[in-house]
Structure 1
């Protein structure tokens, strides 16, 4: 980082912030994607009703709180979406489209790419389904669980995806080489996501908000000499619940109180990076 030329974000911004709303479709008849409550006596169960219903609540209720919070502030999200959701939860997908959110590839159904029988077909189907629904091909991809195999990047480039969010390794975009041309890794703020903080590490909401403010404040200060990029990643079944949504709103309001913040989506950042001749 200290040896790079200074980046120039649009409008002379110090920091680019993009909101990620992960919208997932879980298979009721398969082992659950992730648990919030362990199964009784630690016995794996299918169907896992209480944990599947936790995710279902996010689509029925939590998503709409997050959509309202963003819409009231004039903000749009980048939404990694399981492509099957365009049919199985069409009102959610339609609301995202009508609100101008960016559709981001996220597999067909939620599950690690390592377990997909035909990864090429799953990636290409995701591209096709989202393009047909939205009328515009998605530019980017975030893997389910941010998981990739050794061939995932090549297959994404082959299918036409221009950027990925799986590689949380920098605060600037990084160009990655594939067999089908370069793919840009867009910065992703892994440790501030609601999933690792709330579900994996069991932090309280106040801790999540404080960490977001601390992250933003430091990047904003450093952005005076070298602009930075920060994501805010949430899930409807985690941050869309009544006791957490207010913290999400407070985080957005904290960012908005500062001048020199470019609220973008991941695709905007990719296009800026390419248009500036940086990759």
Structure 2
């Protein structure tokens, strides 16, 4: 029987837990997440930057498809150069179909040594799939075959799940997810197979939310991220903190935003005790320190 989230994770107030411990000299971990997606023109586009004339949805949606395509043809490469200059290794969460439609992009991530995390097969919400278990298995298998390593982490397309998704993910070999934003620290979720860890993620230091949904000016990406960081950094003097920053090439990789993205990572990482880790680095640290906590 499918479990409600509260059956998977008992409530625990953060003030009542023993503080976790990072390695000496580390007080805050930045988790950069770069999402690479496949938008199938046979379906409505995942996002829209320009509304259709007279408000009537159009299919095929060439304008919004080409907006996303720019991210894969240009924005990704701009961001790859930026991460390389900053010395940052992101977690790449990708639709498995990217390995088939954009193999050059997927190969560039593998060659850079970036963590490859699964993001479904293509950009379709989990509750819209006829057989989500089969799609999860297919996605994991394709990425493993292309990259030579099975993904350890997962983000659902649109961060979606049904009550059954976690059980299928655990069965497929997923060890951690980024879909839940309910804590500042990693938490362990019960499944019908092996436990899955939910890493600290957030929906608001996120280019889709800020730029595509809330439609803020580009510079807000920097100002909100720094406001968020400054408070966490102050708290991290007493308790380690993790800060995720989510990017998409069609948003963060465009000329009027990339400078703000670069400045955000550069200024945050300039602080003492701040490091950048991938999702699997955070997971390994959590699994190692959890028994002590």
Matched-pair contact (CA < 8 Å) for 2:71–2:253: yes
Hey, what does 1:185 align to over in structure 2? Answer: 198
Hey, what does 1:277 align to over in structure 2? Answer: 290
Q: 2:278 aligns with which of 232, 257, 265?
A: 265
Q: Secondary structure at the match of 1:8?
A: coil
Matched-pair contact (CA < 8 Å) for 2:221–2:261: no
Q: Tell me how far apart the structure 2 counterparts of residues 161 and 100 of structure 1 sit (CA, whole Å).
A: 20
Deviation at 1:277, TM superposition (A): 3.0
Q: Secondary structure at the match of 1:86?
A: helix
**TM-score (normalizing by structure 2):** 0.93
Deviation per residue, 1:57-83 (Å, 9 max, x gap): 000000011111100111111011000
Q: Secondary structure at the match of 1:190?
A: coil
Matched-pair contact (CA < 8 Å) for 1:10–1:262: no
Deviation at 1:32, TM superposition (A): 1.2
Hey, what does 1:137 align to over in structure 2? Answer: 150
Q: Secondary structure at the match of 1:2?
A: helix
Q: 2:216 aligns with which of 189, 195, 203?
A: 203
CA RMSD of aligned residues (A): 1.0
Q: Tell me how far apart the structure 1 counterparts of residues 284 and 269 of structure 2 sit (CA, whole Å).
A: 23
Q: Secondary structure at the match of 2:284?
A: helix
1:76 is aligned to 2:114: no
Gaps of 5+ in 1: none
Deviation at 1:36, TM superposition (A): 1.2
Q: Tell me how far apart the structure 2 counterparts of residues 54 and 111 of structure 1 sit (CA, whole Å).
A: 18
Matched-pair contact (CA < 8 Å) for 2:269–2:275: no
1:121 is aligned to 2:134: yes
Q: Tell me how far apart the structure 2 counterparts of residues 172 and 189 of structure 1 sit (CA, whole Å).
A: 12
Hey, what does 1:229 align to over in structure 2? Answer: 242
**TM-score (normalizing by structure 1):** 0.98
Hey, what does 1:194 align to over in structure 2? Answer: 207
1:174 is aligned to 2:162: no
Deviation at 1:275, TM superposition (A): 1.4
Hey, what does 1:154 align to over in structure 2? Answer: 167
User: Segments of 4+ in structure 1 off by > 6 A?
Assistant: none
Q: Tell me how far apart the structure 2 counterparts of residues 198 and 126 of structure 1 sit (CA, whole Å).
A: 28
Matched-pair contact (CA < 8 Å) for 2:29–2:243: yes
Hey, what does 2:265 align to over in structure 1? Answer: 252
Matched-pair contact (CA < 8 Å) for 1:184–1:270: yes
Matched-pair contact (CA < 8 Å) for 1:19–1:76: yes
Q: Secondary structure at the match of 2:96?
A: coil
